[in-house]
Amino acid sequence: MPINIQDFKDIDPGERLLLGAGPCNVAPRVFRAVAAPSIGYLDPYLFKIMDETQELLRALFRTENAVTLPMSATGGGGMETAFVNLLEPGDQVVVGVNGLFGTRMCDIAERLGCEVVRVDVEWGRAVPAERMEAALKGKSPKIVAVVNAETSTGACTPLKDIGKLAHDHGAMFLADTVTSLAGIDVSIDADGVDVAYSGTQKCISAFPGISLVSFGPAAIKALEARTTKVPNWYLDMTMIREYWGPARKYHHTPAINMIYGLREALRLVFEEGLEARFARHMLNHKALVAGLEAMGLSMLVPAGERLPMLNAVRIAEGADDAKTRGTLLREYGIEISGGLGELGGKVWRIGLMGYNAQPKNVLLLLAALQAVLKGQGVKVGAGAIEAAAAVWAG
């Protein structure tokens, strides 16, 4: 079929304020970094950028792990990287499941022929260490895994106590930090995490398309003790680490310009400072929650278990889920996310991640959401803006 090239217009989605579950907007400096000239995968300048990126990633994960690097894959690729490199058929895995991404962990492990022990928790709640401890009795798993920041619900599961339980049972501890990294404190060495993965498009505020992994000494030992080949060639850390390490042995052409963008986003993180960044996320989260509650909306996750960067709010009575999100996008250029899995049609997920965790975005979202709901005839309380402002003032 002949092509009329005039039918293919310039890409121009228009401006969007991405206040959903990710990706989020990125800083202008990250755009400029990605636009720098691409170079070869064995160029000495690229090796310098790679080394600096790894150094920044170790500081962000708060780890000494040598194998801490970006993968040419999205956050889900980071999850798969962790599992395919460490598991072999017949291995036992204990997974805390309190949302969609814990469920995905189980799916991957099952596909690898492993015995999966699920510890199911109500969606919207943290995974209690006590529940994990009960599930571990009488078992000898190779891996104990949890999602630190469950993107589908906005619940935060602390890592340290579960990490200790994993080690007490001779298991490696695996943590999903896709949404938490660079938004709250993630200290994988101190918390006993043996392998962690994350993504670039959340609180780091780089473009989607890169995942981040960190393999500790126990994970490297398990990798080297495998009796079978890693089943996924593209994610095989036995080869990939040879390219990111001193040998510089070619495996695949990395996402060079995306690495530029990641390095620049990490520079911004450390120019701000980790503690200041964590405080900024928390303050704007509290302002958002105050405004939503003033409108008469309620949060899914109890206060002590909430993430600051991903806010799950119950859909207002009488509101149309899809219509609300569609109107916000069409008339105000604001994206928020709907619920996933069993929370579909029950919650909206509002992200305040990285570059987007700013007062102006909180105010715009509150005002726009109030207008959209009123337009649907939904009864909305007054004082949302004042409630948010009182948090900042206080």
The enclosing domain of 255 has a CATH number of 3.40.640.10
pTM above 0.75, yes or no: yes
Q: What is the structure's pLDDT at 236?
A: 98
pLDDT digits (tens, 9 = 90+) for 313-341: 999 999 999 999 999 999 999 999 999 99
pLDDT digits (tens, 9 = 90+) for 226-245: 999 999 999 999 999 999 99
Q: Are residues 218 and 177 in the same domain?
A: yes
Over 90: is that where the pLDDT of 127 sits? yes
Q: How many domains does the chain have?
A: 2
Query: What's the mean pLDDT when you consider all of the chain?
Result: 97
Q: Mean pLDDT over residues 382-393, rounded?
A: 97
CATH code assigned at 347: 3.90.1150.10
The one-character DSSP state at 198 is E
Q: Are residues 176 and 283 in the same domain?
A: no
Domain boundary among 244, 270, 296: 270
Cis peptide before 23 (omega within 30 of 0): yes
Do 155 and 125 meet the contact criterion of CB atoms below 8 Å apart?
yes
Residue 21 lies in a domain: no
C-beta pairs of 101-107 under 8 Å, 24+ apart in sequence: 101/147, 101/150, 101/151, 101/152, 101/176, 101/178, 102/127, 102/145, 102/146, 102/147, 102/150, 103/341, 104/76, 104/79, 105/79, 105/145, 105/147, 105/176
Q: What is the structure's pLDDT at 1?
A: 84
Residue 279 lies in a domain: yes
Structural domain including 264 reads: 28-270
Q: What is the structure's pLDDT at 2?
A: 87
Interstrand relation of 195-199 and 172-176 (parallel, antiparallel or unpaired): parallel
Do 27 and 355 meet the contact criterion of CB atoms below 8 Å apart?
yes
C-alpha to C-alpha distance for 352 and 356, rounded to whole angstroms: 6
Residue 17 lies in a domain: no
